[in-house]
Amino acid sequence: MAWDFSTDPDFQKQLDWMREFVREEIEPMDLVFRHPAAHVDPKSPAARAMAPLKAEVKKRGLWACHLGPDLGGKGFGQLKLGLMNEILGRSRFAPTVFGTQAPDTGNAEILARFGTEEQKAKYLQPLLDGEIVSCYSMTEPQAGADPGQFECQARLDGDQWVINGEKWFASHACVAEFLIVMAITNPDFPVHEGSTMLIVPAGTHGMDIVRNTAVGPKDEMGSGVHGYIRFTDCRIPERSRLGPVGEGFKVAQSRLGGGRIHHAMRTVGILNKAMDFMKERVVSRITKGERLADKQMVQEKIADSYTQILQFRLHVLYAAWLLDRDQAYTRDVRREISAIKAAMPGVLKDVVYRALHLHGSLGMSNETQLMDMWQYVPEMGIVDGPTEVHKIVVAKDILRGVEPSDGPFPSYHIPSRLPEARAKFAAFLD
């Protein structure tokens, strides 16, 4: 019997240090460096500001903790990573400072699992060291969330792959050293049998960024970090292939689970930050002769937010615990990751909206970070698969193996069960 909600005292000291370090040294960066790519661009002024912070993180042994020891990582496990990430989620820059920035984490996992020694030497170690950033290019303009509609193809011509097609929302393509691209290599087979992952170095002839896209309307057109990419007879060597031919979907699945749970972990940090704002606001603001905190409808908002955050946090940590237990994306793990992924936008919407509402016009202005948080609501409902897809995964797994009842009434129908129940306790009945 081992039910325990405590944290190892030594690791708790690390978490306490992280919490102060993120609050005092990293969160102020969000106020100063506003360019959409500032947190990932190695050439940005923010990168120079982050350099000594990264050095401090590495000195404390907290750098790039997302890979297990079998893949050359620290072996912290997902539960510890969850406790770390809920702190890192408070700042856009914190994951980069700690070497856990998406999509680099997932791409590092792919390279570690499927990369050749040449690929690992060229890309994995610099990625883990934070010297370069990468891009994961899978989705396409016409396909939405359905990989079965992918059209970007690659054909083998001698010892080269020739890529033609388009990719959409390829995050950080504009600053990446390389892209991991899923291409259809056999259109006669379903995508899970006919796609292949390829490494495309930045600047490869035939790969063009049509434009960059941002989330929300606050940035000028073309100023975002999510690339709309067009491949036109783009040639790369056959040795750029990542994993077996035809198994690109399998390679992709190996990284998506981790990305989804890490999104959820960092969302806890956003929720806690919104709650901090809310708490300070309601004890500080006076209206109609009393604090907002003393009004019952406000107290309801605080109580509901606390409960939702705690429920979501515990579910995220449970999913992380399962992943540590199983050491693989088992059916149980996939179900819980899909469940927290589906719950994430709803919790965000509820909590951040309450915080916005309690701040009034200040909350919807650009003088707090609440509107930045608000943009994550639709984003978290779309990235790594839309909410509806994950709900379907959860429902199918829950209903798997459930036997239908015989006859017109369910097995829990009282009149049908009553005779057997009476017979069981006949000795005690008058």
Query: Do 9-115 and 250-399 agree at the fold level?
Result: no
The CATH superfamily holding the domain 9-115 is Acyl-CoA dehydrogenase/oxidase, N-terminal domain (1.10.540.10)
Angle at Cα 61 formed by Cα 74 and Cα 85, nearest 5°?
Answer: 75
Mean pLDDT of 348-371: 96
Q: For residues 183 and 248, give the distance between their C-alpha atoms in angstroms, rounded to a whole number.
A: 8
Whether a cis peptide bond, with omega within 30° of 0, leads into 103 is yes
Q: Structure pTM?
A: 0.91
Mean pLDDT of 357-370: 95
Q: For residues 195 and 180, give the distance between their C-alpha atoms in angstroms, rounded to a whole number.
A: 13
User: Do 180 and 201 meet the contact criterion of CB atoms below 8 Å apart?
Assistant: no
Quickly count: other Cβ atoms within 10 Å of residue 66's Cβ. Answer: 26
Q: Tell me which of 145 and 427 has the higher pLDDT.
A: 427
Q: For residues 360 and 60, give the distance between their C-alpha atoms in angstroms, rounded to a whole number.
A: 41
Mean pLDDT of 109-122: 92
Among residues of the chain, what percentage have pLDDT more than 90? 79
* Nearest Cα to Cα of residue 227 among 160, 161, 181: 181
Q: For residues 66 and 82, give the distance between their C-alpha atoms in angstroms, rounded to a whole number.
A: 10
In which band, very low, low, confident or very high, does the pLDDT at 267 lie, cut at 50, 70 and 90?
A: very high
Q: For residues 316 and 402, give the distance between their C-alpha atoms in angstroms, rounded to a whole number.
A: 26
pLDDT of 129: 86
Strands (DSSP E) along 143-213, which ranges?
153-157, 160-171, 178-184, 195-201, 207-213
Domain ranges of the chain: 9-115, 134-242, 250-399
* Nearest Cα to Cα of residue 206 among 154, 131, 141, 278: 154
* Nearest Cα to Cα of residue 416 among 404, 424, 408, 425: 408
Q: Which of 20-24, 34-38, 253-257, 410-414 has the lowest mean pLDDT?
A: 253-257
CA distances from 416 to 84, 171, 358, 407, 424 (A): 53, 58, 53, 11, 14
User: How confident is the model over 396-416, as pLDDT tens digits?
Assistant: 999 999 999 999 999 999 999
Q: For residues 59 and 61, give the distance between their C-alpha atoms in angstroms, rounded to a whole number.
A: 6
* Nearest Cα to Cα of residue 133 among 53, 62, 249, 227: 227
Is the Cα dihedral 216, 219, 221, 224 positive or negative? negative
Q: Does the structural domain 250-399 have CATH classification 3.30.830.10?
A: no
Within the chain, what is the greatest distance between any pair of CA atoms? 90
User: Do 263 and 383 meet the contact criterion of CB atoms below 8 Å apart?
Assistant: yes
Q: Is the pLDDT of residue 305 over 70?
A: yes
Mean pLDDT of 220-238: 90
Is the Cα dihedral 43, 73, 255, 336 positive or negative? negative
pLDDT of 256: 63
Mean pLDDT of 128-149: 90
Chain center to CA of 201: 24
Annotate 239-271 with DSSP letters as a single string. GGEESSTTBHHHHHHHHHHHHHHHHHHHHHHHH
- For 297, the token pair is 């409808």
Is the Cα dihedral 191, 196, 197, 203 positive or negative? negative
- What DSSP designation does 171 have? E
User: Do 318 and 337 meet the contact criterion of CB atoms below 8 Å apart?
Assistant: no
Q: Does the structural domain 134-242 have CATH classification 3.40.50.360?
A: no
User: How confident is the model over 7-17, as pLDDT tens digits?
Assistant: 999 999 999 99
Q: For residues 119 and 112, give the distance between their C-alpha atoms in angstroms, rounded to a whole number.
A: 9
